[in-house]
């Protein structure tokens, strides 16, 4: 690689609070691939999706503000959270095409000396890995490939849709998983939501959706699950523990964040990727590492 | 809702039609002019959105019916419906729509209109309050976990004031005020 | 003017145009990419609106009877027609009225007039193949990729010396006065419409693929079977508007799919044993006389579901669980079927864009467009350039024939 890619790292609020293992694994994986991640200064929660539901202008403004700060720094944003990614990407897309709202938002941002111009792109960390590093380079660093164990991917709605906004293809994540030596397990309801967004309004429904996904993954031969979003992770991992009580079902499907899997495959140990913080014990993945 | 006076005498027919002249014909234009509402009128009622929705089976009004209701002007019914708040925002309806109606985006528009009228589920008001007061939805409580992972206990660069300041000036503040 | 007319594509439209020009004393050069004439219609077992069997019987080789067979025999018997099989247009230049057309004619391994279809070579080698007893040209075809010693033996022993395994492609340049575009359509292979899972499971097929299965000349002899294991299929679901009327794929209505599906649904329920058919639709468009297909299929027990497909899930035994949202009932219904048939959009054929660019003509949704969209002459594409049939967009057989005749009429008028 000729030049070390530099990105604005936008954490949002959920990953730092709930998934320090995701954050740490991502940063270490980035270091291993000579990607420079710089924590953004003066930014916070994206408000997704609740703020978008009740206060569209505020949602536009707060995300436009994040984008405007990144524009000042001159680097693309990467984020590990589908919610943040969806929000930033949607606002970026919308404001680029809607001059009227852009003007309104910029009037507010002007007070802070900021302006949204649309000059940098918000991106998901895994998309940056896929596009800027590439599968070939990733494979070169895989020293402890997985043994073809079946992993089901939950992509997360806001990573994939609306496709004209997110511009993310599921194949990216499939190839990233395959690059670690694992096998991608196809299951019929791969598009289905994890249920996270509906929790505040109907908790049982949210849990039911998570359960249906886990059931479908397991039935189709998955031994592990990977996610790239803290909200989806919470639904599939933490909620899985409660299914024994609510549904009388046990799935024992460890849920790993993608950088944890890649980290292990390129030779990190379980502590470096914070495996003990996963709720469903994830240590069985270690038995599938070769070399 | 105000009760309208029933006309005297038995109904003319046994069906009880919705009186179209009492619906809000402007509702369709209202949604049409909102973010991503442009394609609304392209709907040809194929019901693909409902086929795509993973949870519409438990809805009283299905996604295509809500779109239909918007087109007909059933403003009160749509904005008071539970369904717009149950929407997972998974965008599957929008993705499959053969006429590129941005169904999920339109439900966001509906929620914003409902919010403007104070029709918001209590838990969502709770989240709005959280955002207004704390400037974030999730706060670091277990900083030792961060330190265990070699991360700084406080999130580097985090600012909660920016969001708070924006929200003080906008609808969220109003919602939280009137919710209390 | 003595220059011949070039007809590109030997499907229903191209054959009609060529035969009727020839009958009017005008020379026609009919160029076809494939090794047999007939185009997509060749794969249809019966065609609406007449329900003619599109596979005419053996006897028609000598005795013109059914419309299509009549054209086919004319292709050989009519001296004004030059048929160029396996041929591709490489380049078109020159001014209108005197186009220079460069084309490559594929190797002529089998001499079409010498071959008597005696079947000797078919016994010697798998490299030889008879497309159908009614194929035109009336000759076997040879696949060089499968060549073996048996093929060489057949070449030596062929009683009419019709085989030449060393045949080479030939390039030639011809001069023509007019060009008729009759390149037809291609049926969309809906692999990208991922909710239907086409291409992932063998028992999910398109209508054209279904037509091939129920053709009496198919491997199963016309019995409705599942591609997965060749066993009889009893439960069929069809879904309409796959890739048509869809801004994500093709915005237009493909026009024939409703009638195509109803035709198949009627054949399956009336002429096959114990087959149940459900049709998932959003609108049924049986304009004009075709309404009778709709009524007839309802009478024969075809089940109509107004709604869309939610989820397709394969089962261990290769059947498919299909959940359909029924918008009239406002319920989700689950079916288990042997065959899932997609009424897929008609799209422009491969190479259409290149031809449109070469000729500098207009395009509409990828098909050829009339020079003046407001004029009544929808078949006039440019100066001395015409089009007919599905090259102009989705069309049924009678419409293609009518358009071909309109083209012939235009050319005749121009030469008066």
For the stretch C282-341, pLDDT in tens is 999 999 888 988 999 999 999 999 999 999 999 999 999 999 999 999 999 999 999 999
Question: Is the pLDDT assigned to residue C62 strictly greater than 80?
Answer: no
Residues B93 and B126 in one domain: no
Interface membership of B123 toward A (CB under 8 Å): yes
Cβ-based burial of A100 (10 A; exposed 0-12, middle 13-18, buried ≥19): exposed
Residue A51 to residue B112: CA distance in whole angstroms:
9
List chain B residues with CB under 8 Å of A98.
35
Residue B7 lies in a domain: no
Residue C84 to residue C173: CA distance in whole angstroms:
13
The 10 Å Cβ neighbour count of residue C317 is: 12
CA atoms within 13 A on the CB side of C172: 13
Confidence of residue B5 (pLDDT cuts 50, 70, 90): low
**B45-97 per-position pLDDT tens digit:** 999 999 999 999 999 999 999 999 999 999 999 999 999 999 999 999 999 99
Residues B44 and B96 in one domain: yes
Question: Could you give all domains of chain A from N- to C-terminal order, each with its CATH number?
Answer: 6-124 (1.20.1050.140), 141-288 (3.40.50.11810)
Domain boundary among B100, B116, B132: B116
Instruction: Choose from A9, A46, A56 for mutation: most chain B CBs within 10 A.
Output: A56
Cis peptide before A162 (omega within 30 of 0): yes
The secondary element (H helix, E strand) that includes residue C6 is: strand C5-8
Alpha helices by DSSP H, listed for chain B, are 27-32, 48-52, 63-72, 75-79, 83-86, 92-96, 103-116, 122-134, 143-148, 161-168, 171-179
> Would you call B121 and A21 a contact, using CB atoms and an 8 Å cutoff?
no
Residue B64 to residue C330: CA distance in whole angstroms:
11
pTM above 0.95, yes or no: no
> Would you call C247 and B52 a contact, using CB atoms and an 8 Å cutoff?
no
Q: Do C177 and C1 touch, CB atoms closer than 8 A?
A: yes
Instruction: Choose from A186, A187, A188, A213 for mutation: most chain C CBs within 10 A.
Output: A188
The 10 Å Cβ neighbour count of residue A137 is: 14
> Would you call C248 and B51 a contact, using CB atoms and an 8 Å cutoff?
no
Of B44, B48, B57, nearest to C308 by CB-CB distance is B48
C143-152 long-range contacts, CB within 8 A, separation 24+: C144/C107, C144/C109, C149/C125, C150/C124, C150/C125, C150/C126, C151/C121, C151/C124, C151/C125, C151/C127
Q: What is the pLDDT of residue A275?
A: 97
Q: What is the pLDDT of residue A138?
A: 98
Interface membership of A202 toward B (CB under 8 Å): yes
Q: What is the pLDDT of residue A64?
A: 97
Residue B151 lies in a domain: yes
> Would you call A189 and C311 a contact, using CB atoms and an 8 Å cutoff?
yes
Residues B30 and B110 in one domain: yes
Interface membership of A96 toward B (CB under 8 Å): no
Residue B71 lies in a domain: yes
Question: Is the pLDDT assigned to residue C375 strictly greater than 90?
Answer: no
Q: What SS3 state is found at A90?
A: helix
**C133-163 per-position pLDDT tens digit:** 777 888 899 999 999 999 999 999 999 999 9
Instruction: Choose from C194, C246, C322 for mutation: most chain B CBs within 10 A.
Output: C246
Q: Do A124 and A159 touch, CB atoms closer than 8 A?
A: yes
Q: What residues make up the domain containing B107?
A: 22-116
Chain A contact partners (≥3 CB pairs within 8 A): B, C
Question: Is the pLDDT assigned to residue C70 strictly greater than 50?
Answer: no
Least confident of A149-158, C64-73, C404-413: C64-73
Residues β-bridged to residue C128: C142
Q: What is the pLDDT of residue C74?
A: 66
Interface membership of A286 toward C (CB under 8 Å): no
- The fraction of chain A above a pLDDT of 70, given in percent, is 99
> Would you call A53 and B111 a contact, using CB atoms and an 8 Å cutoff?
yes
Residue B66 lies in a domain: yes
Q: What is the pLDDT of residue C288?
A: 87
Nearest CA to C84 out of C64, C60, C104, C70 is that of C104
List chain B residues with CB under 8 Å of A13.
136-139, 158
Q: What is the pLDDT of residue B11?
A: 62
B33: CB partners within 8 A, 6+ apart: none
> Would you call B162 and A42 a contact, using CB atoms and an 8 Å cutoff?
yes
Q: What is the pLDDT of residue C119?
A: 92
Residue C234 to residue C247: CA distance in whole angstroms:
34
Instruction: Choose from C197, C311, C323 for mutation: most chain A CBs within 10 A.
Output: C311
With CA atoms as reference, the chain A residue closest to B96 would be A162
For chains B and C, CB pairs below 8 A equal 44
Confidence of residue C57 (pLDDT cuts 50, 70, 90): very low
Residues B40 and B88 in one domain: yes
Nearest CA to C212 out of C177, C264, C282 is that of C264
C3: CB partners within 8 A, 6+ apart: C97, C98, C175, C176, C177
Q: What is the pLDDT of residue B3?
A: 55
Residue B16 lies in a domain: no
Residues B160 and B89 in one domain: no
**Measured between CA atoms, how close is C336 to chain B, in angstroms?**
17
**Measured between CA atoms, how close is C241 to chain B, in angstroms?**
10
Residue A9 to residue A27: CA distance in whole angstroms:
10
> Which domain CATH number covers B59?
1.10.1060.10
Alpha helices by DSSP H, listed for chain A, are 14-18, 20-32, 50-54, 56-73, 82-97, 99-109, 125-128, 135-141, 157-160, 163-166, 170-178, 203-219, 230-233, 239-246, 258-265
Q: What is the pLDDT of residue C3?
A: 85
Residue B1 lies in a domain: no
Q: Residue window 140-179, chain B: list those with CB within 8 Å of chain A.
A: 140-141, 145-146, 148-151, 155-160, 162-163, 166-167, 169-172, 175
Domain C189-345, classified CATH 3.40.50.300, yes or no: no
Confidence of residue C254 (pLDDT cuts 50, 70, 90): very high
- The fraction of chain C above a pLDDT of 90, given in percent, is 77
User: What is the DSSP code (8-state) at residue C218?
Assistant: S
Residue C186 to residue C349: CA distance in whole angstroms:
5
Residues B106 and B140 in one domain: no
> For the residues of C23-90, what is the DSSP string, one character each?
HTT--EEEE-SSSSS-GGGGG-SEETTTTEESS--GGGGTS--SHHHHHHHHHHH-TTEEEE-SEEEE
- Average pLDDT for C363-391: 94
Residues B38 and B74 in one domain: yes
> Span C5-106+169-185+348-414: which CATH code?
3.50.50.60
**A163-182 per-position pLDDT tens digit:** 999 999 999 999 999 999 99
Question: Is the pLDDT assigned to residue A51 strictly greater than 60?
Answer: yes
Instruction: Choose from B81, B90, B94, B179 for mutation: most chain A CBs within 10 A.
Output: B90
Residue A165 to residue A52: CA distance in whole angstroms:
16
**Measured between CA atoms, how close is B120 to chain C, in angstroms?**
27
> Would you call B169 and A108 a contact, using CB atoms and an 8 Å cutoff?
yes
Q: Do A263 and A272 touch, CB atoms closer than 8 A?
A: yes
Of C195, C241, C330, nearest to B96 by CB-CB distance is C195
**B37-59 per-position pLDDT tens digit:** 999 999 999 999 999 999 999 99
For chains A and B, CB pairs below 8 A equal 180
> For the residues of C127-189, what is the DSSP string, one character each?
TEE-S-TT-SSSS-EE-GGG--HHHHHHHHH-TT--B-TT---EEEEEEESEEEE----EE--
Beta-sheet pairing, C303-314 with C141-142? unpaired
Alpha helices by DSSP H, listed for C196-290, are 207-214, 257-271
Instruction: Choose from B114, B131, B144, B146 for mutation: most chain A CBs within 10 A.
Output: B131
Question: Is the pLDDT assigned to residue A82 strictly greater than 60?
Answer: yes
Residues B51 and B104 in one domain: yes
Residue B146 lies in a domain: yes
> Would you call C310 and B52 a contact, using CB atoms and an 8 Å cutoff?
yes
- Please count the structural domains in chain B: 2
**B103-120 per-position pLDDT tens digit:** 999 999 999 999 999 999
Q: What is the pLDDT of residue C63?
A: 33
Interface membership of C241 toward B (CB under 8 Å): yes
Confidence of residue C61 (pLDDT cuts 50, 70, 90): very low
Domain boundary among B74, B100, B116: B116
List chain B residues with CB under 8 Å of C309.
51
List chain B residues with CB under 8 Å of C306.
47
C307 phi and psi angles, rounded to 5 deg: 165, -160
The 10 Å Cβ neighbour count of residue C59 is: 9
Q: What is the pLDDT of residue A285?
A: 98
Residue B3 lies in a domain: no
Nearest CA to B179 out of B109, B129, B112 is that of B129
* Alpha carbon A7 to chain centroid, angstroms: 16
For CATH 3.50.50.60, the residue range(s) in chain C are: 5-106+169-185+348-414, 189-345
Domain boundary among B116, B135, B160: B116
Calculate the average pLDDT of chain C.
91
**A253-266 per-position pLDDT tens digit:** 999 999 999 999 99
Cβ-based burial of B144 (10 A; exposed 0-12, middle 13-18, buried ≥19): exposed
Calculate the average pLDDT of chain A.
96
Confidence of residue C398 (pLDDT cuts 50, 70, 90): confident
Residues B108 and B26 in one domain: yes
Q: Residue window 1-20, chain A: list those with CB within 8 Å of chain B.
A: 11, 13-14, 16-18, 20
C225 phi and psi angles, rounded to 5 deg: -125, 160
Q: Residue window 380-399, chain C: list those with CB within 8 Å of chain B.
A: none
Of C241, C309, C327, nearest to B64 by CB-CB distance is C327
Sheet holding C81-84: strands in order across? C81-84, C28-31, C5-8, C178-181, C385-387, C380-382
- Average pLDDT for C379-405: 95
**Measured between CA atoms, how close is B33 to chain A, in angstroms?**
12
**Measured between CA atoms, how close is C232 to chain B, in angstroms?**
30
Residue A46 to residue C149: CA distance in whole angstroms:
72
């Amino acid at each position: 690689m000729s030049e070390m890619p530099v990105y604005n790292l936008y954490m949002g609020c959920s990953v730092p609070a709930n998934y320090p293992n995701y954050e740490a694994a991502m940063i270490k994986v980035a270091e291993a691939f000579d990607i420079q991640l710089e924590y953004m200064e003066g930014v916070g929660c994206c408000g997704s999706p609740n703020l978008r539901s009740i206060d569209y202008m505020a949602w536009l403004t707060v995300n436009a503000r994040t984008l405007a700060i990144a524009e000042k720094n001159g680097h693309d944003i990467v984020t590990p959270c589908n919610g943040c990614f969806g929000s930033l990407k949607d606002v970026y897309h919308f404001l680029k095409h809607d001059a009227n709202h852009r003007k309104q938002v910029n009037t507010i941002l002007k007070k802070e000396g900021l302006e949204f111009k649309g000059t940098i792109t918000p991106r998901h960390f895994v998309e940056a890995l896929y596009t800027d590093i590439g599968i070939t380079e990733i494979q070169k660093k895989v020293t402890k490939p997985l043994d073809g164990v079946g992993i089901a991917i939950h992509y997360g709605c806001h990573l994939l849709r609306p496709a004209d906004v997110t511009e993310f293809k599921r194949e990216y994540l499939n190839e990233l998983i395959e690059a670690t030596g694992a096998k991608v397990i196809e299951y019929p309801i791969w598009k289905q939501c994890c249920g996270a967004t509906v929790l505040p309004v109907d908790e049982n429904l949210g849990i039911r959706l998570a359960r249906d996904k886990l059931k479908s993954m397991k039935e189709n031969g998955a031994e592990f699950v990977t996610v790239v979003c803290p909200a989806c992770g919470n639904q599939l991992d933490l909620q899985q523990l409660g299914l024994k009580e609510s549904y009388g079902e046990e799935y024992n499907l460890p849920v790993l964040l993608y950088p944890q899997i890649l980290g292990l495959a390129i030779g990190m140990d379980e502590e470096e990727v914070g495996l003990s913080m996963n709720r469903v014990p994830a240590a069985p993945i270690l038995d599938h590492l070769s070399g | 809702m105000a009760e309208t006076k029933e006309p005297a005498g038995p109904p003319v027919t046994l069906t009880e039609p919705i009186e179209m002249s009492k619906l809000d014909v402007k509702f369709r234009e209202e949604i049409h002019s909102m973010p991503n509402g442009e394609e609304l009128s392209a709907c040809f009622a194929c019901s693909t959105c409902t086929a795509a929705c993973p949870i519409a089976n438990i809805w009283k009004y299905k996604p295509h019916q809500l779109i239909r209701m918007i087109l007909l002007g059933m403003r009160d019914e749509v904005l008071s419906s539970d369904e717009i708040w149950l929407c997972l925002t998974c965008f599957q309806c929008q993705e499959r729509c053969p006429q590129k109606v941005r169904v999920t985006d339109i439900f966001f528009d509906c929620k914003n209109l409902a919010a403007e009228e104070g029709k918001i589920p209590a838990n969502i008001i709770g989240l709005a309050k959280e955002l207004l007061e704390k400037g974030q939805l999730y706060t670091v409580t277990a900083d030792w976990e961060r330190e265990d992972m070699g991360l700084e206990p406080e999130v580097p660069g985090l600012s909660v004031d920016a969001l708070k300041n924006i929200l003080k000036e906008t609808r969220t503040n109003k919602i939280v005020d009137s919710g209390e | 003017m003595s220059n011949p007319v070039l007809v590109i594509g030997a499907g229903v439209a191209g054959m009609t145009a060529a035969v009727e020009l020839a009958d009017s004393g005008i020379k026609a050069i009919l160029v076809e990419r494939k090794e047999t004439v007939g185009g997509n219609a060749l794969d249809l077992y019966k065609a609406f609106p007449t329900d003619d069997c599109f596979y005419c019987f053996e006897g028609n080789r000598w005795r013109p009877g059914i419309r299509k067979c009549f054209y086919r025999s004319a292709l050989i018997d009519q001296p004004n027609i030059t048929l160029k099989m396996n041929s591709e247009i490489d380049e078109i230049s020159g001014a209108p009225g005197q186009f220079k057309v460069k084309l490559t004619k594929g190797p002529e391994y089998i001499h079409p007039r010498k071959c008597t279809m005696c079947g000797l070579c078919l016994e010697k080698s798998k490299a030889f193949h008879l497309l159908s007893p009614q194929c035109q040209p009336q000759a076997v075809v040879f696949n060089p990729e499968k060549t073996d010693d048996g093929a060489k033996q057949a070449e030596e022993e062929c009683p009419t010396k019709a085989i030449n395994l060393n045949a080479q492609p030939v390039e030639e340049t011809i001069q023509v006065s007019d060009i008729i575009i009759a390149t037809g359509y291609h049926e969309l292979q809906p692999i990208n419409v991922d909710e239907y899972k086409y291409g992932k499971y063998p028992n999910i097929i398109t209508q054209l693929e279904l037509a091939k299965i129920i053709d009496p000349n198919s491997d199963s002899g016309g019995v409705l079977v599942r591609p997965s294991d060749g066993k009889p299929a009893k439960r069929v679901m069809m879904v309409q508007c796959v890739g048509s009327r869809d801004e994500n794929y093709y915005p237009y209505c493909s026009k024939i799919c409703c009638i195509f599906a109803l035709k198949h649904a009627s054949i399956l329920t009336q002429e096959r044993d114990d087959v149940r058919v459900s049709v998932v639709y959003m609108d049924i468009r049986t304009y004009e006389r075709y309404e009778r297909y709709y009524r007839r299929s309802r009478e024969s027990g075809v089940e109509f579901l107004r709604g869309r497909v939610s989820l397709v899930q394969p089962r261990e035994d290769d059947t498919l669980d299909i959940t359909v949202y029924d918008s009239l009932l406002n319920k989700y219904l689950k079916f288990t079927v042997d065959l899932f048939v997609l009424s897929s959009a008609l799209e422009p054929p491969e190479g259409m864009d290149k031809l449109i660019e070469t000729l500098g003509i207009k395009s509409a949704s990828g098909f050829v467009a009339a020079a003046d969209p407001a004029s009544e002459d929808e078949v006039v594409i440019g100066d001395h350039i015409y089009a007919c049939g599905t090259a102009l967009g989705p069309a049924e057989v009678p419409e293609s024939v009518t358009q071909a005749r309109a083209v012939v009429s235009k050319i005749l008028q121009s030469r008066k």
